[in-house]
Structure 1
Amino acid sequence: MSRFARGDRAPNPRAGFRDQREKEPPVPQGLIKAARKSGQLNLSGRGLTEVPVSVWRMNVDPPEEAHANVGFDGTDRWWEQTELTKLILASNKLQSLSEDIRLLPAMVVLDVHDNQISELPSAIGELVNLQRLNISHNKLKSLPEELAQLQNIKNLLLHHNQLEEVPNSLGQLIALEELDFSNNNLRSVSSCLGALTNLTRLNLSNNKLKVLPPEISRMKSLRQLDCTSNLLEDIPPSLAGMDCLEQLFLRQNKLTFLPQLPNCKLLKDLHVGNNQINTVSAQHLTHLTSLCTLELRDNKLKSLPDEITLLTGLERLDLANNDLGSLPNTLGNLPKLKSLQLEGNPLRGIRRDVLNKGTQELLKYLRSRISDSKNEENTSPVVTAMTLPSDSLVNAHALSTLKTLEYSNKQATTIPDAIFDAIGSCPVSTLNFSKNQLAEVPPRIVELKESVCDANLGFNKIPAITLNLCMLLKLKHLDMRNNFLSSLPDELEALTRLQSIILSFNRFKTFPEVLYRIPTIETILISTNQIGSIDPEKLIKLTKLSTLDLQNNDLLQIPPALGNCENLRALHLEGNPFRTPRAAILAKGTAAILEYLRSRIAT
């Protein structure tokens, strides 16, 4: 009886082939061979945990075909190989780079973004020809001093790491044109950056910076400076000396005033939204004659100076979510203004229907009021209800003429009964109880259910919307920002005419489910909460929704299906911790964001 009949296993005739496959390197030799001819090697997205030695030594060791009997035709002249100049190792699982990287001294482009690299090898300094280094989306906590030896580097991308400081040696990279430190843990910026006189783009956004060094003004070639989402309370006056500056992003900081930039005559875009700016004076605007975009949304502005008409090149002015009660009529004279955002302001004296007609109609309306105001200046003052004693509770003129019930900025904990008693038979269409200390929606608000269309209860301490508010069935606009809300009642669904709702600066951890069930909704402003997800399939059913502001929430991902919300004209997603879409996509605007999301929908 043979040994196989006794139960012994017969040898697997393909066992040797399996061993050979298991030892096969993760990088096909065909790619290495092609790289020797082109000087470029792309190994992105291959699941590599380390770079094969053959990659580092590809210009040092002779190839396998050098030991074979090959001809001397033009395609096999391995001794005429090209030095590797471009290596892409992005989107792998690399935790480190070998010191053997020095064996590729001709490298011009090195891209290792989206890995798990915690430190760079000191040999990186020997890549003296390197011009572009992308090591973003890794786990770097520090940079090696040898980085200063890269005297030819022009683009250094370090965003989305864990860096806490900028080494002084970085100031020696005088050829740098682009430097991206965004989304790190920087608490300060070294004055050494002032030596980077060829730098045109500097991104410091999403860090923990409280100040900027005055030396930053020495970067005379800088065209774009992004300091979005930091803790800046002040801007150094020396910033005004940056003659070439074209774009300045200071969103989501703690600024209380607009920076003065008298010498920045080329500045085209100034973004200072989501700060605490309460005043814009003429001296802030006088020299910004080239400005095309001025973004001041989500601040505390109460008025605009007439000198805003000096911005003759202004095309986009965003004043949403401020405290503006009126607009200067001269705003209508801005010749190039195409977009004027005003939602979320307690504007009085301008009818809602005028505001809803769009920018051009509003500007036309303001121009028509300029001549009227001039005529009024020539008439003697007339005593009206507006001249009531200061202790009067109700503005009778606003109540009778503008149909507005106003009791705002009183720091009151309750609305006096005298306010509601004064209404009488007046059909109130607008009520403003903002900027008080209200801990609940006033119960008597239900008495206005037959007439009120616009309700402002913002800047109070209201923890919940009660049913009496849900009975205002004619309500079209509701402002509940800066309260203590964490949810909305299902009964809010009864507001079948609701067009806009402002819920910014509250305590929502989930997107209010009831909003998905209000088909008339056109504008939802719910920035600066803690919302972690949204349901795009339910949003798509809101066919009239045109503005959705989800800035400064906790969205870890943006579902691609949101791209199918084709009626959206304004989608704001900045300040969330998601990785895609990237900041470059967000900066292109709503149409680009939606197109990007649609491209990622699985088919």
Structure 2
Amino acid sequence: MNKPKEKQLTKNRRKLISPVFHIQTKEEDDQHFSKEMIKLIRKTGNLNLHGKHLSSVPSRIFTFYNGCDTNEVNLDFNKSKRDEEELWWNFKPLTHLDLSSNVLIEIPGEINVFQDLTVLNLQDNNLISLPIEITQLIKLTTLIIKHNGIKQLPEDINKLSELRVFNASNNCLEEIPNGLVDLVMLEKMDLSQNKLKNIPSGIGFLVRLTELDVSNNQLGELPPDIVNLRSLVKLSFNHNSIKHLPESLGELRKLQLLYAQHNDIEELPDFTGCECLQEMYFGNNYIQEIPVENLDNFLHLKILELRDNQITVLPKEIFKLGHLLKLDLSNNELTEIPATLSLLPHLHSLKIEGNKLKHIRADLVRTGTQRILQFLRDKLQDEDLEGISSDFKDVPADHCVFPDRYKMRNGQILNLTMKNLSTIPTEVFKEAKEARVTSVDLCKNKFGEFPMDLTTMSDYLTELNLSVNNLKEIPLEIVKLTKLKFLDLSKNLLISLPASMSEMRNLRELALANNRFLKIPMCIFEMTGLEILMLNDNSLAEIDIDGLKNLTRLATLNLSNNNISFVPPELGNMTQLRCLELKGNSFRQPRYAVLEQGTESILSYLRDKIVQ
């Protein structure tokens, strides 16, 4: 009598999910819970049922400890080690439960039997609610329920007092219970891709929160007490309907990443105090100006994205953003670009297309960042330099004032850009080491030799910029900088790198543009941690695909403006690449039209050329 009803239920479930999945019966679900799995759980405390196509939670997972005789006291000292592992007192309680990427429509209330559970992953299912019993798992530190259809969270969620990570993104939440703001141990919370119209004002109590994502909702404002989140490092609220930001946003003194694209923001708030900001995204809003007073606060800003706004004037004080790498001002109302923009020593990506510029030709804009900056440098006049700090002028070495250890300790940066230096006193590096400096910037000087005292800072140094100098070689000793993640040697006179650099496997970004390399240095192919490799504007004659394929984490590869005559089709198999630049070489294939279509098209074109 129940079979027709069961068939109908199965048919309805198929409508909820992709037809490529086979809807399993309860008996089939239970088969995934084998004796071998039970032994593994008892030994490790982990249960992984990820991607098993489960339509129901196997009932046996709630009883697999029941067969253990916890009253057993007789000891047999002749038992083998394997037998000892089967004794109840050696069993580990279940602490990690992964039910992600299945087709579950509900979680049984019996889940509360796992009182030692610390990690629960329910993402990528068909859940529309959570059982109230889930709030009894008071030891939970991580709860992941993203990519479901959950419409409401349990009111008593505040009972999960040990929760550190909570991810409820990509659901159907229209509101969140007030109890959520009582979870004062939270460090990361993701509520993106829901239907939230507001956030409870008590969110300011989550003082340990370092990451908050409320993007892709229906928010009209941020609660004022969000400025109390003094530990916040990353804040994302893009794709909402927010018009005004809290006036005291500068209280977020540890904020590094701010995502605010696609809102209705009309003006930038006062960022006084946000000196740690590194990336700021305000594209697709209604911002009309960049307040000059804000520019003094962005001491570490590397990326500023203001595309698709209504900005009419770019202040000449933009030169104060001394660490800026990328600036996107495309599709605004700008009529001119100040020449002082060319004083930014690290700017390598400038986007200004889509403006009504009067003094820069459209064809020049299309040639790229370096040509635009060169044009602006040629236009730089003495009046443009009035009031500019000496930090942006060439200063004779004997008059150079080196930062003291207290200044370096405050920002953990040794910045000596554009000082006309060829040497630096050993004492400066000694003080930088004592200040635990992690970033050294010596670009745009006159170093003919690598400053060997840099190696004394190996305990802390992660970023080193020696671009735009006169370096002809790099010493073997550079390998001592074992913690280095970013190294910029572009715009020097290098023709090779020491083989010892192959040991620098912590490097994530290596910039070698504008040197004199005839081939890609072999040591690079063993830097397995590389994610960004810039080799543009050299004299490379070929692409060593056998070496490059070892760089499995490489996401950006720039080989533009070299002498490459042939692109190996096997390069198309490096599908992890997100940005591949090949323009400005002498090869005939792929054609320029293919290059214009972007990285994905280039890789696809190359794969099609591979001879099977």
Q: Under a length normalisation based on structure 1, what TM-score does the superposition of the two structures give?
A: 0.57
Task: Name the residue aligned to 1:100.
Answer: 110
Following superposition of structure 1 onto structure 2, how do residues 437-448 of structure 1 map, counting pairs within 5 Å? none
Give the 3 Å change call, closer, same or farther, for CA 22–184 of structure 1 in structure 2: closer
Q: Which of the numbers 311, 317, 320 marks the counterpart of 2:327?
A: 317
Task: Check conservation: 1:41, 1:88, Cα contact below 8 A.
Answer: yes
Contact 2:161 2:184 in 1 (8 A): yes
Conservation of the 8 A alpha-carbon contact between 1:198 and 1:219: yes
Match status 1:234 vs 2:241 = no
Cα distance change, pair 54–357 in 1 and its aligned pair in 2 (3 A): same
How has the CA–CA distance of structure 1 residues 293 and 594 changed in structure 2, closer, same or farther, with 3 Å as cutoff?
farther
Give 1:134's aligned residue: 144
**Matching residue within 53, 62, 67 for 2:68:** 62
Question: For residues 359 and 269 of structure 1, what CA distance do their matches in structure 2 show?
Answer: 19
- 1:36 maps to what in 2? 42
SS at match of 2:42: helix
In the aligned structure 2, how far is the partner of 1:171 from the partner of 1:236?
19
- CA distance, structure 2, for counterparts of residue 168 and residue 592 of structure 1: 45
Secondary structure of 2:280's counterpart equals strand
Aligned residue for 2:93? Answer: 83
Unaligned runs of 5+ residues in structure 2 are 1-24, 386-559, 561-571, 583-597
Matches within 5 A, 1:436-585: none
Q: Structure 1 83/374 Cα, relative in aligned 2: closer, same or farther at 3 Å?
A: closer
Residue 361 (structure 1) shift: 2.6
Q: CA deviation at 1:592?
A: 11
Counterpart amino acid of residue 359 in structure 2 = G
CA contact (8 A) 2:29 2:56 kept: no
Contact 1:244–1:266 under 8 Å retained in 2: yes
SS of the residue 2:350 aligns to = strand
CA contact (8 A) 2:248 2:270 kept: no
Contact 1:203–1:225 (CA under 8 A) maintained in structure 2: yes
2:202 aligned residue: 192
Quote the Cα distance in structure 1 between the aligned partners of 2:314 and 2:26.
75
- Pick closer, same or farther for the CA change 1:355–1:102 going to 2, 3 Å: same
Mind listing any 5+ residue stretches in structure 1 that lack a counterpart?
A: 1-18, 376-545, 547-559, 571-589
**Quick one: structure 1 residues 226 and 374, their matched pair in 2 at CA, closer, same or farther if it must change by over 3 Å?**
closer
Which position in structure 2 is the counterpart of 1:488?
Answer: none
Please list, as runs of the form range in 1=range in 2, the aligned pairs for 1:49-448 lying within 5 A after superposition: 49-62=55-68, 72-76=79-83, 77-79=86-88, 80-371=90-381
- Residues 108-153 of structure 1 show CA distances to partners (whole Å, capped at 9, x for unaligned) of 1110100011111122122122111100011111111232111111
User: Deviation above 4 Å: which 4+ runs of structure 1?
Assistant: 19-24, 372-375, 560-570, 590-596
Distance 1:346 1:30, change over 3 A: same
Contact 2:26-2:56 at 8 Å conserved across structures = no
Count of matched residue positions in the alignment of Structure 1 and Structure 2: 374
| Cα distance in 1 between the residues matched to 2:54 and 2:175 | 29
Q: Distance in 2 between matches of 1:188 and 1:29?
A: 48
Rate the CA distance shift 1:20–1:283 in 2: closer, same or farther, 3 A.
closer
Query: Secondary structure of the equivalent of 1:225?
Result: strand
Tell whether the 8 Å contact from 1:59 to 1:84 is kept in structure 2 after alignment: no
- Contact residue 321 and residue 344 of structure 2 kept, 8 A: yes
CA contact 1:59–1:103 (8 Å) conserved in 2: no
AA aligned opposite 1:364: Q
Distance 1:57 1:206 in 2: 41
The residue type equivalent to 1:123 in the other structure is E
**Aligned partner letter, 1:85:** T
Tell me the distance in 1 between the aligned counterparts of 2:207 and 2:603: 37
Residue in structure 2 matched with residue 46 of structure 1 by the alignment:
52
Q: Distance in 1 between matches of 2:137 and 2:360?
A: 64
In 2, Cα distance between equivalents of 1:231 and 1:374: 39
Write the letter of the residue equivalent to 1:324. L
Secondary structure of the corresponding residue to residue 286 of structure 1: helix
> Percent identity, aligned pairs only?
35
After superposition, the Cα gap between the structure-2 partners of 1:276 and 1:123, relative to the gap in structure 1 and judged at 3 Å, is same
1:365 Cα offset (Å)? 1.7
**1:309 Cα shift?**
1.3
Q: Residue 29 of structure 2 contacts residue 54 of structure 2 at CA under 8 Å; is this kept in 1? A: no
CA contact (8 A) 2:339 2:384 kept: no
Contact residue 29 and residue 57 of structure 2 kept, 8 A: no
Distance 1:114 1:316, change over 3 A: same
Alpha-carbon shift at residue 248 of structure 1 (Å): 0.8
TM-score with structure 2 setting the length:
0.57
CA distance in 1, matches of 2:372, 2:165: 45
Match of 1:513 in 2: none
Going from structure 1 to structure 2, the CA distance change for 1:54 and 1:305 (only over 3 Å counts) comes to: same
Mean CA deviation greater in 48-57 or 176-185: 48-57
